[in-house]
Structure 1
């Protein structure tokens, strides 16, 4: 069975098997076998290929890293734990966005604090114009999940919906920019996710608390780790069931 993840990653990045062979100093036929026959490369080659395509080793070869090793590496993906999201320094948010060159992904219900930075629209536009993929996921203000979250936070049934509409109105200004996609979802939101290339802020949600008062984790992706990849796959799952906003 072919390794479709590896094949897709190479195609997305415009990398040929010959280029991989040259970078890893192996025969091109060996690279073809990694793709067509799902052969598993040696560890040093996995690291090199994962870096070339900007994917994790565990994503490209899920069975190559043992569970104990994966758990050990995943612990190292945690850069810092903040007791509350509002404790994450504004400077860090700015640095992560400014440094991002290929991926900006945001999964929230509201994310109204993002609108505090009037330069964020200009920054996202510049990122997209420079080739980055920007994907923004907000809550569907008409969904049952939003009404339930608003009630659980003890702020009234329609308050979260009103906040979402405010945020959507703000980000609508960049909705027509090539490279920027905006969708709305009605899923149960267990974590808000803010990804900037290989850095991520994860905001786990706590029943009865608004998101700014819940903890936040700063993660940095490691090739053989599972933690960053777990949240990244969660983002993809929500993205796949989300739809365009009803402006």
Structure 2
């Protein structure tokens, strides 16, 4: 079936098969098939042709309104774990050890790190001694959002106690040059563990404890993308978080 809208646009602008083909760098026979047989060009070619004609690409080729299929694998995705419990603690430790510029942690408690790797504070001190900047954001146990998470995960007051325990673990780092510790009261959709261009994202699922929720490992690719979306989220929470001060 001919593409009458395309034919009309070409006629109005004085375009021939040859001139439009030259403008979008295709064979004139391709343009002829678009016009006379109703063929739909590839999206990038269609956009170039629509721009040349001064038309809306979807008006010329309505089929392009259909959503493009999602990529099966993002170039930023290194690994996908069914649950956080499947991720060896050595994965966290190795990423922190390899960091040279930036370590960021956004959690409610995540005391599993200190429990499984008691040298965590020493490792963080070693990293800042080598020039890293470290930011740790943990949940404020008095926060309504923390308390709500406890109810959702059927932990009751347990998660508030875990936040206090996390603060106890990290408090010795308060005042160490290069390390900042803050508490936040935001709704935590994901726990984030960043080491330079690597990021572990623990998605939170309503009614499921964090250790049973999925986790994915991202590596920043050129142009940012998913990685940068999470980084911006961290920065927004960090800006609203309250600094933890030294005791006494």
Q: Tell me what 2:122 maps to.
A: 122
| Counterpart Cα distance in 2 of 1:94 and 1:244 | 25
1:99 paired to 2:114? no
Q: CA deviation at 1:138?
A: 0.2
Assess if the C-alpha contact under 8 Å between 1:135 and 1:180 holds in 2: yes
Q: CA deviation at 1:130?
A: 1.5
Q: CA deviation at 1:131?
A: 1.3
How many residue pairs are counted as aligned between the two chains? 177
1:191 paired to 2:216? no
Q: CA deviation at 1:93?
A: 1.4
Specify the structure having the higher radius of gyration (Cα).
Answer: 2
Cα deviation code 1:48-100 (max 9, x no counterpart): xxxxxxxxxxxxxxxxxxxx9xx86x811000100001101222112101100
Q: Which consecutive unaligned segments of at least 5 residues does structure 2 have? A: 1-66
| Counterpart Cα distance in 2 of 1:243 and 1:141 | 13
Please state whether the residue corresponding to 1:79 is helix, strand or coil.
Answer: strand
Cα deviation code 1:166-211 (max 9, x no counterpart): 1111111111100000000000000000000100100010000010
What are the equivalent positions in structure 2 for 1:86-165 lying under 5 Å apart? 86-116=85-115, 117-156=117-156, 158-165=157-164
Higher relative contact order (CA 8 A, sep 6+): 1
Cα deviation code 1:102-157 (max 9, x no counterpart): 1000000011111121111111011112211100000011110011000001121x
Q: CA deviation at 1:225?
A: 3.4
Alignment RMSD? 1.8
| Higher mean C-alpha displacement, 219-228 vs 132-141 | 219-228
Assess if the C-alpha contact under 8 Å between 2:146 and 2:185 holds in 1: yes
Runs of 4+ in 1 over 4 A off after TM superposition: none
Q: CA deviation at 1:223?
A: 1.5
| Counterpart Cα distance in 1 of 2:90 and 2:152 | 31
| Counterpart Cα distance in 2 of 1:210 and 1:86 | 10
Assess if the C-alpha contact under 8 Å between 2:144 and 2:185 holds in 1: yes
TM-score by length of 1: 0.68
TM-score by length of 2: 0.68
